[in-house]
Amino acid sequence: MISLLKKVSHVLITLTLILFLLPFSTNVKAASVSAEQLIFIAVNDGLVEFTDAKPVVEAGVTYVPLRSLAALLNAEVRYDGTENSVTVTKDSRSMKILINENMYQLESTDKFPLTIKTVQNRTLLPLRFIAEYLQVGLTFYGPGPIARLIDKNVAIQYTDEQLYMMYKDKIENEKQQWKAAHEEQESAQIAYLTFDDGPNANTAAILDTLKKYNAHATFFMVEPKTRNNKEAVLRMVAEKHAIASHSVSHDKTKVYQSPEALLNEMNKTRETLYAITGIDSRLIRVPYGSKPYLTEDFRNILANNNFQLWDWNVDSNDWRYSSEEIVSTVKKQVVNLKKKNVTPVILFHNGTNTVEILPEIIEFLTSEGYTLKAHEENSHFMMNFWDDERL
Ligand SMILES: [Zn+2]
């Protein structure tokens, strides 16, 4: 074990993603992380490479794999599988980490809360916590940046700056590579095109355009129209678009007559879509959007029946605007959302103007770095005017 540790301690670098999670004021979970940073971890005079689980940083706290780090600090780590705990002993100090409980214990039986991460079956603890309880020094050197643990039993040879200079080429090279990968990732933002009130005679042209640009979209459909345009619905599924329910009557006096009436309309549409395609879509959009009609009783019944509901955050107004106005309003709203790093969900209808402007909209979104994806049940995020997290 010791020889392995020496080997590890001679080896190099660890890349840590610092994910500064933005305090989003909107109801939208952004698809991409806004700012990320690298950090390098050193122990005494060597930079560390973590071979399996990597350190992660969340909300400004660096979490490092306990076992790798403790070993480098000559601490003993014992895992107890029956109670899923780890006991760390260094010098005369000992602490027990209770993984399931997110707690730790010192000499006494008192337990204290601790945020514990599990990555690739490895236990990660806050770096500062490890340093404190193993009584090792912790320094931070900005230009790396390097977080460095210094064991008081070890005579170190290098200052933080000297350590950085020793590994400078390697560190800067890793940073370059990481930045390139990161930029690629950041450019892959997602936008969602959604089309309401179909399918109808315009739907085939919309599908043609989407196909031409390899773009994917989400269709919120009215039940009688799905029965009358089964080919269009089947084509949506074949071409990897998402299908969703938008009521039977599309009449606000009927849809919002009672929570049960709403539920019946959505269930009937969902069942018809299932009968046509074999796909059971839980996604709905209520006619005219969820405000003001979708009051609490209505939302309760949808939540209790496991529906996912989407409104939108970009309104094309394509049912009343000219082609030029549609294009300019969509562009303006998307640019605003991009500044806030909010994922656009764009409302369109199956109209003739929409058919006309769709290529320009797609070219604009692509030039802004967006990938156009269909809604996915497993990566559903809240997009409703009530900020109701259940939907
Ligand atoms: Zn509608």
Exactly one of 196, 197, 311, 318 is catalytic; name it.
196
How many A from CA of 198 to the centre of ligand 1?
A: 9
- Please check whether residue 206 is in contact with residue 220, taking contact to mean a CB–CB distance below 8 angstroms: no
CA 385 / ligand 1 centre spacing (Å): 16
Which residue has 């599990």 as its token pair?
118
321's tokens: 């605007």
Q: pTM (2 decimals)?
A: 0.57
Ligand 1 centroid to 195 CA: how many Å? Answer: 9
pLDDT at position 55 is 81
Instruction: Give the class (CATH, top level) of 190-379.
Output: alpha beta
Q: Does domain 2-187 have CATH number 3.30.457.10?
A: yes
User: Cα(287) to centroid of ligand 1, in Å?
Assistant: 5
- Please tell me the total number of residues recorded for the chain in this structure: 391
Residues 307 and 300: their CA atoms lie apart, in Å, by 10
**Structural domain spans, the chain:** 2-187, 190-379
**Separation of CA 265 and ligand 1 centre (Å):** 13
Which secondary-structure segment (H or E) carries 67? helix 66-72
Q: Are 379 and 287 in contact (CB under 8 A)?
A: no
**What is residue 358's predicted lDDT score, i.e. its pLDDT?**
97
Compute, in angstroms, the gap from residue 173 CA to the centroid of ligand 1: 53
349 is catalytic: yes
CA-based end-to-end distance of the chain: 51
**DSSP code of 5?**
H
- Cβ pair 215, 369 in contact under 8 A: no
Contacts 24+ apart (CB under 8 A), 229-238: 229/198, 229/199, 229/200, 229/203, 230/276, 232/198, 232/199, 232/203, 232/204, 232/207, 233/199, 233/273, 233/276, 233/277, 234/276, 234/277, 235/204, 235/207, 236/199, 236/207, 237/277, 237/279
Among 383, 390, 377, which Cα is nearest to 283's? 377
Burial 7-16 (b: 16+ CB within 10 A, else e): ebbeeebbbb
Which of 246, 250, 349, 375 is an active site residue? 349
**Nearest by Cα to 102 from 119, 122, 123, 75:** 123
Residuewise pLDDT in 10s, the chain (391 residues):
444 433 333 333 333 322 222 222 233 333 333 334 678 899 999 999 877 777 877 777 888 999 888 888 889 999 898 888 999 998 888 899 999 899 999 877 889 999 998 877 788 999 999 999 888 999 999 888 899 999 988 899 999 999 999 999 999 998 888 888 777 665 569 999 999 999 999 999 999 999 999 999 999 999 999 999 999 999 999 999 999 999 999 999 999 999 999 999 999 999 999 999 999 999 999 999 999 999 999 999 999 999 999 999 999 999 999 999 999 999 999 999 999 889 999 999 999 999 999 999 999 999 999 999 999 998 899 999 999 999 9
